[in-house]
Amino acid sequence: MQQVLRNTLVLGQVAICCQLSEKNQTIVEFILLGLTSNHFLEIILFAVLFVAFLLILLGNIAVITITLADQRLHIPMYFFLRNFSLVEICFTATFMPRTLYSLLTGAKTISLSGCFLQSALFFILGICTFFHVALMSFDRYMAICHPLHYATFMSNRFCLQLVLGCWMVSFLLVFSPLTILLHLPFCGPNVINHFYCDIAPLLQLSCTDTGLIEKVMLVTSVLILPGTLSVTAFSYAYIVYTVTRIQSLASRKKAFSTCSAHLIVVAILYSSSIFRYIRLSQRGGRDFDKVVSFLYCVITQLCNPYIYTLQNEQVKQALKDLVARCFAGSNDILKSRATKQ
**C-alpha to C-alpha distance for 278 and 280, rounded to whole angstroms:** 7
Where is mean pLDDT largest: 128-137, 183-192, 255-264, 292-301?
A: 128-137
pLDDT category of residue 167 using cuts at 50, 70 and 90: very high
Higher pLDDT, 245 or 247: 245
Q: Which amino acid is at 202?
A: L
For residue 52, the model assigns a pLDDT of 92
75 conformational bin, left if phi > 0, alpha if psi -120 to 50, beta if neither: beta
Encode pLDDT of 77-95 as tens digits. 889 989 999 999 999 999 9
CA atoms within 13 A on the CB side of 36: 13
- Domains, in order of start, for the chain: 38-107+121-186+199-328 (1.20.1070.10)
258 Rama class: left (phi>0) / alpha (psi -120 to 50) / beta: alpha
Rounded Cα gap, residues 166 and 220, in angstroms: 15
Task: For residue 327, count CB atoms less than 10 angstroms from its CB and return exposed for 0-12, middle for 13-18, buried for 19 or more.
Answer: exposed
- Better-predicted residue by pLDDT, 332 or 54: 54
Per DSSP, what are the bridge partners of residue 31? 109, 191
Give the sign of the dihedral formed by CA 106, CA 56, CA 255, CA 270.
Answer: positive
- Average of pLDDT values for 288-313? 76
Region class of 23: left (phi > 0), else alpha (psi between -120 and 50), else beta = alpha
Q: pLDDT tens for residues 188-198?
A: 678 888 888 88
Percentage of the chain lying above the pLDDT 90 cut: 23
Query: Is-contact 63 82, C-beta < 8 A?
Result: yes
Q: Which pairs from 251-255 meet CB under 8 Å and 24+ separation?
A: 255/144
Q: Are strands 191-192 and 109-111 parallel, antiparallel or unpaired?
A: unpaired
